[in-house]
Structure 1
Amino acid sequence: MTGKIMAASTDNNLNISASIAGILNERHCSEHLQVLKTFTAALRDEEYRDAVEKEVFSNLLRVLTRLCEELQTANRDGDDLQSSTLQLQLTAECFRVQRNSCVQSERNQTLLRELGFIDVSIKILSVLQAIHSESKDAIFEPLRCGIQFLGNLAVGNQLCKDDVWQLSFPDLLLKLLSVDDEKVLNYTSMVLHTCLDETKVEDLSKPQYIQLALRVMELCRIQPDLDWTVLIATQHFLMSSALVESMYSGMSHHERVTLLELLFAQLREEDSDECGIPPSVARFLASSFQKGCGAVLTLATGSASSDEVLQEALTVISLLDLLCELTSDHKQFMFLQNHPDLLVTTVELLEQVHAIGKASKNIFSTAQNFSSFSGDGDPSSHSPVISFKAHLIRLIGNLCHSNPNNQNKVRELEGIPLILDNCNIDSNNPFINQWAIFAIRNLLEHNRQNQELVAALEQRGPADYSALRELGFLVEERDGSLLLKPVSKDS
């Protein structure tokens, strides 16, 4: 039985080979398209795929090369696309043949690579993406099939990956990622993801190539349903500190927020301590927050008249949210406790924001408007700085956890009374009282001087400290230490 199958496959090979060779000697016609479609369908069978002779692929390459030359000539001469319709259909079908032949077949991947299919196919894709026509569907069909071929060719085959990368990077990939067709974008992103490795990601961080990385990030923002671009960003881009820094410097503030949101999602999705984000990326983010944090203050003065100024402030807010997450239950990022002046910057910013909010009615002022939290209201839609003060306090608490030097630093900066003064209910800062209690606990833990300071504040009985007591907490001396303790309901 096996012998009959092999004989049938051999006969099929000879018939297909002869039919494809005949295309080279005749004027293009619909029968040629049918020959290729028959070949495409046959290649869905794994046993047939593995039995296709080299000569068959050689003849197919000659057909593809002829089509490439014809399309190049038509494009160069500015011929009407209608006259090239059959060539475009034949090209699409050649690509389908190539695509199907590579499915789970390392043998065919290697064979097509050695014969030179990559070079010719990429030349055709370069021509197709440059053609401007009202009949876009006629161009999109071969474009999509050609890109799918490159993807199937590269999967699991390092030599093919490297060749595809060498011949398409960066210009063709960038152009294909700018085509107005969702399938072309998706398939190109798939090829890019398949080819990427650590070395290639480092190439992308170079100034002459950064536009390709920026385009991927732009697609993450404007077309979040393209899964491949998000995978490229999270599995490759965010793992490279050099690329993150290069992209960040070349991005608009709006694009930076997208980058920070992806980093935040990456941290949240990882269950283990090792999330894959390098420590150097965390350091860069902390420095970026310190450098730009003053932008958020413009929101209170009304000087945030332009969208660009607003986006700059929102970038600062996103950086703060990310720093809070980095320093919460991620041991590998706790070195940020010792990041130069990060704690000082955060305490000083809290002091400025708090003072501005008290000086006059503005976006940083304490509010009691809890109606925005009922019904369909979304509190985040009412203020760009929702929870900003609460998150500043949260970050201070994180940076002081089991860190005597930072505990002392906050005391020296007079940050403890400042935090106690934020123990009031504030609809602009949900849970600010809980974060204030959390921060005070971390500041008092095993720190006698800080405990004595809070005790002295209680003895003076200022309004700042009474807010803490109203929340149900008092300071109690126990075994020589002062502890925050919930007030019992009976007292």
Structure 2
Amino acid sequence: MTEEFKNLSIKLIEFEKLNTNSSSEYKRKVTDVLKQVVNELKDEECRNALISDDISRLCKLLQAFIPVPLESSSALPDDRDINLCTECVRCLRNACVQNEQNQNWIGQSGAVGNIKDLIAGVCSSESQESISVLIRCAVQLAGNLVSGNTNTRTLLWRELFPQSFLSVFNYEDTKASTYCCMLLHECLDDELHLQQLIKQPEGQQIIEAVLRLCEEEMQHDFSLQIMQKLVTTSEFMLSAYDNLPVPAKLTVLDILAAVISQADGPSSASNSPTVPMGEEGCKNNVGVPVFTIAYLAEQFEDLAKGAMALITEEQSRHSTQQMIPVLTLRLLKVLGIAASNHEVYKPLQDRESLLQTTLELLERANLSGSSKQVPSTLHMNHEETSPVYGLKRDLVRLIGNMCYKHKPNQHKVRELQGIPLILEHCKIHDQNPFISQWAILTIRNLCADNQENQAFIAGMTTQGAAPSTDFLREMGVEVEMRDGIPYVKTTAKKK
């Protein structure tokens, strides 16, 4: 601890007469002293040496230099005042690191109100680096102030939610928004705060801001953690999800799929069925409520009816209407992963309407894919950006998972003529390579302990060889029938 720091109390008493009208030289002198204090407060001994009067005077000094909201966003506060204010905030930020007593003193000295006024005063200004740094430091101060302290957390939430959070997110500084997510994540440990965020209209705007961070930079860990916390509550789907724009819904569904997959194991999220459906890796509940999955199943059934009709070449690539089929596909992906967890999401298997919708959509997709009149966007391809990439694969996967050890669903698929439809996808597909593996596993689940389905397949007769695909022709392979037996022959490779 330096002599300069030991004389901090005397210095702060001297600084009480400082205000915005003071000379530039005096402001610079105070700023230099505060910079030294900032460095000193990185040491735990110095933080413990602070007294309540020191903190109270720092808060008063901060209050004297908080910029007032400006009438014009192009007008900028004085840089000297901004720099002095920033160093003052840094002092308070460092003072409350892992120090509950200092946290409480800062909370009692009106610093939370100062943070609120500061954010309101500078977030409306035109963006510049010095103001951005001040906002970041203010949010860091708020984060340190509530860390592990329920008293200051309650106080800060009451003062800053929702407007101060919105102001920081709307300022569009990536670092400030990231720090704001850290603060929000800490505050959401309180169940009351979580419910207010979900149910209040302004909370909806904050959620959308967090989702935009998730969309732009998936490495923003705290924005993802916030959404993971939200998607594990039934209230989020009831109160917030429906009001989100489609791109935000897609992000929510991606997060849901990842959350469920983390517990189910890598096989559930993979496009390739390296582990049989319904076995190990599908037993752990990740905390996503059964209600949420049932709600998404209902949404999928409603959207699936018109999904294929909406995908046409004439539609704008980025139109809202074009996004609806993509939303349907994302819902399908989540349901396919959830359906593999039979212990937790057993009600999903019992939803007969979902099985019927999935079979109908698979049949329509199959007919569309084989029709020359259908626009090319309906055909499977390798591009993840295609509206229907993986559609058939995920439909087959969902059917297979729903039929695992479930006799009523096994019978229903047979009654709806779904077995020939699934068998048709057991052949190698050059544009959708994993679908044959999912189809084979689905046939296994359909036939397991089901004599009727086994007999149905055994009674099927050979109709001839299917037309050779372009892929096989390019490789110099063709199939022909002789006395009901298929033979493979080589031909000249297609160039």
Q: Which runs of 4+ in 1 moved over 6 A?
A: 7-10, 364-367, 464-467
Q: Kindly state the Cα deviation for residue 9 of structure 1 after the two structures are TM-superposed.
A: 9.6
* Alignment partner of 1:387 out of 387, 390, 393: 390
Query: Counterparts in 2 of 1:29-428, with a 5 A limit?
Result: 29-68=27-66, 71-72=67-68, 75=70, 81=76, 84-132=78-126, 136-197=128-189, 198-206=191-199, 208=201, 209-234=203-228, 236-270=229-263, 273-298=284-309, 301-302=312-313, 304-307=315-318, 308-329=320-341, 331-360=343-372, 362=374, 363=376, 379-381=382-384, 383-428=386-431
C-alpha separation in 1, matches of 2:140 and 2:378: 56
What's the secondary structure of 1:194's corresponding residue? helix
State the TM-score, normalizing by the size of structure 2. 0.82
* Alignment partner of 1:20 out of 15, 26, 51: 15
Q: Kindly state the Cα deviation for residue 169 of structure 1 after the two structures are TM-superposed.
A: 1.0
C-alpha separation in 2, matches of 1:161 and 1:42: 26
Q: Kindly state the Cα deviation for residue 222 of structure 1 after the two structures are TM-superposed.
A: 2.2
C-alpha separation in 1, matches of 2:365 and 2:314: 15
What's the secondary structure of 1:332's corresponding residue? coil
101-110 or 291-300, which deviates more: 291-300
Q: Kindly state the Cα deviation for residue 310 of structure 1 after the two structures are TM-superposed.
A: 2.5
Indicate how the Cα distance of structure 1 residues 172 and 364 shifts in structure 2: closer, same or farther if over 3 A, else same. closer
Q: Kindly state the Cα deviation for residue 243 of structure 1 after the two structures are TM-superposed.
A: 1.4
C-alpha separation in 1, matches of 2:247 and 2:416: 34
Q: Which amino acid aligns with 1:196?
A: L
How well do the aligned residues superpose, as a CA RMSD in angstroms? 2.8
Indicate how the Cα distance of structure 1 residues 114 and 444 shifts in structure 2: closer, same or farther if over 3 A, else same. same
Indicate how the Cα distance of structure 1 residues 155 and 207 shifts in structure 2: closer, same or farther if over 3 A, else same. closer
What's the secondary structure of 2:126's corresponding residue? coil
Which string of whole-angstrom CA distances, capped at 9 and with x for unpartnered residues, describes residues 228-274 of structure 1? Answer: 2122112x211122213444322232222221111122222335702
- Check whether the contact 2:396–2:439 (CA below 8 A) recurs between aligned residues: yes
Q: Which amino acid aligns with 1:12?
A: N
C-alpha separation in 1, matches of 2:91 and 2:344: 49
332-341 or 242-251, which deviates more: 242-251
Which string of whole-angstrom CA distances, capped at 9 and with x for unpartnered residues, describes residues 373-424 of structure 1? Answer: xxxxxx2347432321122111111101000111111111111122122222
What's the secondary structure of 1:453's corresponding residue? helix
C-alpha separation in 2, matches of 1:429 and 1:324: 17
392-401 or 51-60, which deviates more: 51-60
C-alpha separation in 2, matches of 1:111 and 1:37: 21
Q: Kindly state the Cα deviation for residue 39 of structure 1 after the two structures are TM-superposed.
A: 1.9
- Check whether the contact 2:75–2:125 (CA below 8 A) recurs between aligned residues: no
408-417 or 291-300, which deviates more: 291-300
Which string of whole-angstrom CA distances, capped at 9 and with x for unpartnered residues, describes residues 59-80 of structure 1? Answer: 1122122223xx22x7359995
Q: Which amino acid aligns with 1:269?
A: Q
Q: Which amino acid aligns with 1:75?
A: L
242-251 or 334-343, which deviates more: 242-251
C-alpha separation in 2, matches of 1:80 and 1:311: 41
C-alpha separation in 2, matches of 1:106 and 1:395: 52
- Check whether the contact 1:16–1:56 (CA below 8 A) recurs between aligned residues: no
**Which structure has the highest helix share of the two?**
1
- Check whether the contact 2:377–2:386 (CA below 8 A) recurs between aligned residues: no
C-alpha separation in 2, matches of 1:414 and 1:184: 57
- Check whether the contact 1:328–1:398 (CA below 8 A) recurs between aligned residues: yes
C-alpha separation in 2, matches of 1:286 and 1:265: 17
Indicate how the Cα distance of structure 1 residues 106 and 344 shifts in structure 2: closer, same or farther if over 3 A, else same. same
C-alpha separation in 2, matches of 1:181 and 1:365: 40
98-107 or 249-258, which deviates more: 249-258
Equivalences, count:
443
Q: Kindly state the Cα deviation for residue 47 of structure 1 after the two structures are TM-superposed.
A: 1.0
State the TM-score, normalizing by the size of structure 1. 0.83
The runs of 5 or more residues in structure 2 that have no matched partner are 266-282, 469-495
Q: Kindly state the Cα deviation for residue 225 of structure 1 after the two structures are TM-superposed.
A: 3.4
What's the secondary structure of 1:285's corresponding residue? helix
C-alpha separation in 1, matches of 2:373 and 2:73: 65
- Check whether the contact 2:300–2:331 (CA below 8 A) recurs between aligned residues: yes
What's the secondary structure of 1:394's corresponding residue? helix
Identity of aligned residues (%): 30
- Check whether the contact 2:198–2:204 (CA below 8 A) recurs between aligned residues: yes
Q: Which amino acid aligns with 2:298?
A: S
C-alpha separation in 1, matches of 2:467 and 2:6: 94
149-158 or 248-257, which deviates more: 248-257
